[in-house]
Amino acid sequence: MNMNFSELDVSRRTRKGNFLKQIDQLIDWAPIEKAIARHYAPASDAVGRPAYPGLLLFKMLLTGIWHGGLSDEAVEDMANSNLHVMRFLGLYLEDDVPDHSVLSRFRTRLTAAGAWDGLLTIINEQIQTHGIMVTQGCHVDASITHSQRKPKIKPFYEVVNDREDRDDEADAQAAMRVIEVTQPGVDTEARWVKKSGKSVFGYKQHTVVDDNGLVMAVETTAANCHDSKPLLTLLDKAGIEPGTRVHADKAYCSQKHRDALKSRGIKNGIQDKAVKNKPLTRRQLQRNSLITKVRYVVERTFGSQTRWFGSKVLRYCGNASAHAWHILQAMAYNLRRTLHGQSQFQVRLMI
């Protein structure tokens, strides 16, 4: 294939073992590009110029996460100045780089279309072709993502005036309700929750991982949602098959979940929880200890995402945008772990 001078110059100046180049060689981007095109395939931009390919914008989002969870503006700057990033994006020195507003609109478009979960599935299918993901067991947990759009002052309320001439109307009671006044700039879909004695405002990232800690599925809720509530939805989304053992801490322990796992043919690896006047037996305590030793992988996943990507702080507003951020991190994490840990990943025996 012929190579122009700018492409030759970029190739000459980039290290062969660079992380982004290795990712490019690991992944077949064609099915991902096809999936993106179902939701984002504009022929031109707002001023009539040819639109940027969706795959290019998707790669830019991943690049921003791999470099510490950069803002869209910082990603644009990096694509203009970093030769490794330029080569990964398929750009030449003379090419225009999409600006941050294009990147933001692309993310918004795919978020509105609910496309992110499907892209994670495609990424994971590709990882499976390398023999990395395992299906003998899975681990479930939740982590809080902090919203920067929290209320600065205590919420205040207004009372809708009671009008006696409407007392006989069906909606009169609703019209007299007390409502919370929305504060400008506050994320109205995020919620407060107590964590380690401190109040936190944001969302919860409910995640199921395989035995290697690779993310299989994610659900996003407001932070005040109990950890265990999305469990069955998560298992269904991840396609957990009968015979698989699900590990989780005692927050997920309930008769409802025991019955649901049994009906699905899924093995119960949820820690037991003591109830009033009924302490755990010695056998239950031993079982809990064994479960703790194997479910560390999901905590390692959350810890690595925090260290590598700055995942604890959300730049965006709304549950759907928070979910997009969680899924993008999951894809970035799975690809990084796959590339750097292929020789270390081993299938472990289940409890």
Provide the residue count of the chain: 351
Q: End-to-end distance of the chain based on CA atoms, in angstroms? A: 53
| CATH code of the domain in which 274 resides | 3.30.420.10
Predicted pLDDT of residue 47: 58
Does residue 110 contact residue 116 with C-beta atoms inside 8 Å? yes
Largest CA distance in the chain: 82
On whether both 209 and 302 belong to a single domain, the answer is yes
- Residue 336 located in a structural domain: yes
The H or E element spanning position 216 is: strand 215-222
Q: Using CA atoms, how far apart are residues 249 and 46, in angstroms rounded to an integer?
A: 50
- Residue 124 located in a structural domain: no
Number of folded domains in the chain?
Answer: 3
Q: Using CA atoms, how far apart are residues 127 and 112, in angstroms rounded to an integer?
A: 26
Predicted pLDDT of residue 155: 58
Q: Using CA atoms, how far apart are residues 299 and 288, in angstroms rounded to an integer?
A: 16
pLDDT (tens, 9 = 90+) of the chain, 351 residues, equals 344 544 544 454 445 558 899 999 889 999 999 999 999 987 666 555 678 999 999 999 999 999 999 999 999 999 999 999 999 999 988 899 999 999 999 999 999 999 999 999 999 999 988 877 766 789 999 999 999 988 876 655 555 444 444 444 455 455 545 555 566 789 999 999 988 888 999 999 999 999 999 999 999 999 999 999 999 999 999 999 999 999 999 999 999 999 999 999 999 999 999 988 899 999 999 999 999 999 999 999 999 999 999 888 999 999 999 999 999 999 999 999 998 765 344 333 333
Predicted pLDDT of residue 205: 97
Residue 142 token pair: 């939740």
Helices 54-66 and 19-26: crossing angle in degrees, nearest 10, is 130
On whether both 259 and 293 belong to a single domain, the answer is yes
On whether both 139 and 70 belong to a single domain, the answer is no
Does residue 148 contact residue 315 with C-beta atoms inside 8 Å? yes
On whether both 99 and 248 belong to a single domain, the answer is no
From 113, 142, 175, the end of a domain falls on 113
Residue 328 token pair: 């993008």
Between vectors from CA 110 to CA 72 and to CA 96, what angle results, nearest 5°?
Answer: 45
Predicted pLDDT of residue 156: 53
On whether both 281 and 212 belong to a single domain, the answer is yes
Q: Using CA atoms, how far apart are residues 269 and 288, in angstroms rounded to an integer?
A: 9
Residue labelled with tokens 């098959």 = 241
Domain that holds residue 52: 5-113
Does residue 327 contact residue 116 with C-beta atoms inside 8 Å? yes
Predicted pLDDT of residue 10: 47
On whether both 17 and 159 belong to a single domain, the answer is no
Q: Using CA atoms, how far apart are residues 32 and 41, in angstroms rounded to an integer?
A: 13
On whether both 143 and 161 belong to a single domain, the answer is no
Of 347, 348, 331, residue with least CA distance to 121: 331
Hey, which residues does 284 pair with through a beta bridge? none
On whether both 173 and 53 belong to a single domain, the answer is no
- Residue 38 located in a structural domain: yes
pTM of the model: 0.85
CB under 8 Å to 95, separation ≥6 — which residues?
Answer: none
- Residue 85 located in a structural domain: yes
Hey, which residues does 275 pair with through a beta bridge? 278
- Residue 118 located in a structural domain: no
On whether both 162 and 219 belong to a single domain, the answer is no
User: For residue 277, which amino acid is it?
Assistant: N
Region of 249 (left: φ > 0; alpha: ψ -120 to 50; beta: rest) is: beta
On whether both 159 and 63 belong to a single domain, the answer is no
Q: Is 317 helix (H, G, I), strand (E, B) or coil?
A: coil
Hey, which residues does 218 pair with through a beta bridge? 207
CA-to-CA separations, 199 to 61, 146, 156, 195, 224, in angstroms, rounded: 31, 11, 18, 6, 11
Predicted pLDDT of residue 11: 52
Of 72, 56, 216, residue with least CA distance to 135: 216
Predicted pLDDT of residue 80: 95
On whether both 193 and 297 belong to a single domain, the answer is yes
- Residue 125 located in a structural domain: no
Q: Using CA atoms, how far apart are residues 179 and 184, in angstroms rounded to an integer?
A: 16
On whether both 279 and 332 belong to a single domain, the answer is yes
- Encode burial over 125-159: b for 16+ CB neighbours within 10 A, e otherwise: ebbeeeebbbbebbbbbbbbbbbebbbeeeeeeee
- Residue 77 located in a structural domain: yes
- Residue 26 located in a structural domain: yes
